[in-house]
Structure 1
Amino acid sequence: MRDGTALGKEAKAFIARGDLVPDSVMVGLIASELKKLGDAPWLLDGFPRTQPQAEALQAETPVNVVVNLDVPFDTIIDRIKDRWIHPGSGRVYNLIFNPPKVAGKVSLTRVIKQFTGTLSLTSRDSPSPIYNIANTAPVLDYYRSKGILQDFHGTESKKIWPHVENFLKTIV
């Protein structure tokens, strides 16, 4: 949209009406940006979300590896519902996994800036969107059938990440 491309203008028209951007436009936008990268590795997070998007992306710009972080549903909900953010600094806390030192407050001092203030729960952190995760099962099955899906199971980033990192080092 920023560059004024035909696809960007088309997406902007849907957004201006408050409509979802159709798969064909989204895939076109993403594929055109990925093609600009040439042979450089790239990572998508949160796209594709449906099997038709995955199939269209594969036809436009083939995906060669898909990483699936298989985390129990209850763990995801707990992480989201207990996540708080300090709007001034963007610092993220989790009341269970990474609580602030003083409940409801943040005090973060850096060389250049000092942030103090109250934490808030953001609308994007509502657990309700996560219930759509069942819609991604066909996407995972699609990539699994292509032989390019790698699953990683766990409940904590610090335990899953070393396995993901080691795997990525073997392919990049």
Structure 2
Amino acid sequence: MLLRKAARVILVGAPGVGKGTQSERLLQRFPQLTAISSGDLLRSNVKNRTPLGIKVESTMKAGGLVPDDLILRLIQNELSQRGWLNTKPNLLTLCSSDLHQPDISIDDDALISAAHLVQPQPKADPSASFLLDGFPRTAGQAESLDNILPINLAVSLHTPVDVILERISGRWVHEPSGRVYNTGFNAPKVPGIDDITGEPLVRRADDNEEIYRERFRKFEETSRPLLDHYANKGVLWEVSGMCSDDITPKLFAEFEKRFC
């Protein structure tokens, strides 16, 4: 189904609620949508040795948090590179061929400081539609993102905690590929064995009730102000369901009403 205007979307939900599943289904139904992950962009920058990647590499290797302003500049550069913002491109990009020209001298701090010299304006073309994953996670981050590219739909996904706990208790993972099985609704053909490789499946260390409830508590603390921020902007939409199949039809209907 084709969009008629740009959709700039985030999905918010507790761990295990099915954000990944809903994202995949949205991308399949609406081909103009693109998934943008702040984590993937960071890893790409580090791998490609861009100025920003070099700057954050040591922080990431130490398990620290990359500062919000660098994440924002990373997202702005990615969207500008795709032509989705009306800004002049700068050298701090993921794919800029200029970075590989030997006659250009690059000063990291100067480049990063120059990233916001032009106030961006989002394009309304439906091809400039995306699901943003991994950012923002707090109200403060959302406020900063508004200055670059305002989100026009924040989806809050709800599934009862007890249902999620039951779901993760039956979860098994093939670590090399990331394939996920569940004994309740997506069981492997042979218990404990990956369907494709025949290798053993494992349980995630954090797939237990005590750890999950602590993760859920932390999520609630940070998400409420974030959701309040988008509610005040008039772009928050909340949806509930006992499973992903309950939520998906409602999400599709709302998406089509807003953007199709």
Structures share fold, TM-score greater than 0.5: yes
Select the structure with the greater relative contact order (CA < 8 A; seq sep ≥ 6).
2
2:234 is equivalent to residue 147 of structure 1: yes
Summarize the alignment of residues 113-152 of structure 1 with structure 2, pairs less than 5 Å apart. Answer: 115-123=197-205, 125=207, 127=212, 129-134=215-220, 135-152=222-239
1:43 aligns with 2:131: yes
Structure 2 equivalent of residue 60 of structure 1: 148
Q: Tell me, yes or no, if the aligned pair for 1:34 and 1:61 is still in contact at 8 Å.
A: no
What secondary structure does 2:194 align onto?
A: strand
Counterpart AA for 2:239: F
Q: Do residues 15 (structure 1) and 101 (structure 2) align?
A: no
Query: Structure 1 residue 13: deviation in Å?
Result: 3.3
Q: How far apart, in 2, do the equivalents of 1:93 and 1:55 lie? A: 37
Distance 1:159 1:48 in 2: 26
SS at match of 2:225: helix
Equivalent in the alignment of 1:112: none
What is the root-mean-square deviation of aligned Cα atoms in Å?
Answer: 2.3
Q: Which amino acid aligns with 1:122?
A: R
- CA deviations over 1:52-102 (Å, ceiling 9, x no partner): 111111112211111111222232333334321123554311122322243
Cα separation, 2, equivalents of 1:27 and 1:44: 12
Distance 1:29 1:81 in 2: 37
Runs of 4+ residues deviating >6 angstroms:
none
Q: How does 1:18-29 map to 2 (within 5 A)?
A: 18-29=63-74
TM-superposed CA distance for 1:150, in Å, is: 1.1
Give the conservation status (yes or no) of the 8 Å contact 1:31–1:57.
no
Match of 1:97 among 155, 174, 185: 185
Give deviations 1:102-157, integer Å, cap 9, x for gaps: 3222334xxxxxx2122112346563544421111111110011000111111211
Q: Comparing 150-159 with 124-133, which one deviates more in the overlay?
A: 124-133
AA aligned to 2:198 is T
Asked if structure 2 preserves the Cα contact closer than 8 Å seen for 1:85 and 1:92, the reply is yes
Identity %: 37
Separation in structure 1 between the aligned mates of residue 129 and residue 206 of structure 2, nearest angstrom: 29
DSSP-derived class of the 1:42 partner: strand
Distance 1:117 1:105 in 2: 6
Which moved further from structure 2: 152-161 or 86-95? 86-95
Unaligned 5+ runs, structure 2: 1-44, 85-122
SS of 1:34's partner is helix
